[in-house]
Amino acid sequence: MNSPPSRSASGGGSEDPVKAVRATGTARLLRGIAAAFLVAILSLAGARGIDYSPSPLERLIGLSGLIVEGTIERVNEETITAAVQDVLSGRPFADRKIEIVRYASYDERLPPPGYAPGQKFLWILSWRAESGIVGAAPRWHVSGFEGEGELAVDAGCVLLRDTLLKGLPAQEREIYGRRLRVHRYDRSLFRDAVTGYRRCFRWKPAAGKERPRPQQTCTSKELTEYRAKSPLHEELAARTLGSPPKKP
């Protein structure tokens, strides 16, 4: 799946193969220059002790275009192809395949993910064009500046990086060749927290100088029932509403 389900393919005339090859080469060159420039800037920032600000989990869920669970089938030069087993949010699709852009790790303290066929992830995705590339076609990207929207799935549990839920206790684990501090949640519980959150809150994307902001879309009774389901449900709701989580 290389485009949102709501998009339809349109026909057109045949394309000049020479122009197509040149356009592809130019796009790759520009993408490489943009990535190198960003790496240089972030390396300088890291040397000065400046960290990027990761997006919290509730924001990634609220602004996502698609949330799926799947297994990597093929690792490509710029993307990974995965078989989708579950769609948590977004329109389902028939072919059950999705192509996701491999994100670059700009934090020198965090090695890039070592993708391999058979690895299982839950992806929080956004549909957008490559930043800094003029005329680039939109594709599915992992949400979060440092790929925080890519969550490993292991032994029936979803593993969230500790930056997604700051302040909560986390454990250090080896995940596909990377040592990360993570929160571990039962897959079924996490799925319910995500789907319920999407029913209770809708995030308005940024517009101009206006920052993204959430709006409650369920009744007070439904929100109370959602918050009572688990500490994770309560944590997501409380962080969204800007109130301290209720004690169980």
Q: Give the per-residue pLDDT at 211.
A: 84
> What are the distances in angstroms from CA 30 to CA 67, 79, 143, 157?
29, 17, 22, 39
- 24 and 63 co-located in one domain: no
Residues 37 and 126 occupy one common structural domain: no
Residue 118 domain-assigned (yes or no):
yes
Which residue range(s) make up the domain with 103? 57-186
Inside any domain, residue 69: yes
Same domain, 23 and 99: no
Per-residue confidence (pLDDT) for residue 17, from 0 to 100: 47
Query: How far is the C-alpha of 245 from the C-alpha of 237, rounded, in Å?
Result: 8
What's the confidence (pLDDT) of residue 102? Answer: 87
- Residue 180 pLDDT: 85
pTM over 0.85: no
Q: What is the pLDDT of residue 14?
A: 46
**Is residue 71 domain-shared with residue 136, that is, in the same domain?**
yes
In a domain, 247, yes or no: no
pLDDT at 110: 63
Q: How much is the pLDDT for 71?
A: 96
Query: What is d(CA 117, CA 73) in angstroms, rounded to the nearest whole number?
Result: 5
Assign residue 135 the CATH number of its domain.
2.40.50
Contact by Cβ (8 Å): 184, 168: no
pLDDT below 50 — which residues of the chain? 5-15, 17-23, 37-50
Q: pLDDT for 168-178, tens place per residue?
A: 889 998 888 78
Q: Does the CA dihedral 33-39-42-46 come out positive or negative? A: negative
114 and 201 belong to one structural domain: no
Domain co-membership, 199 together with 143: no
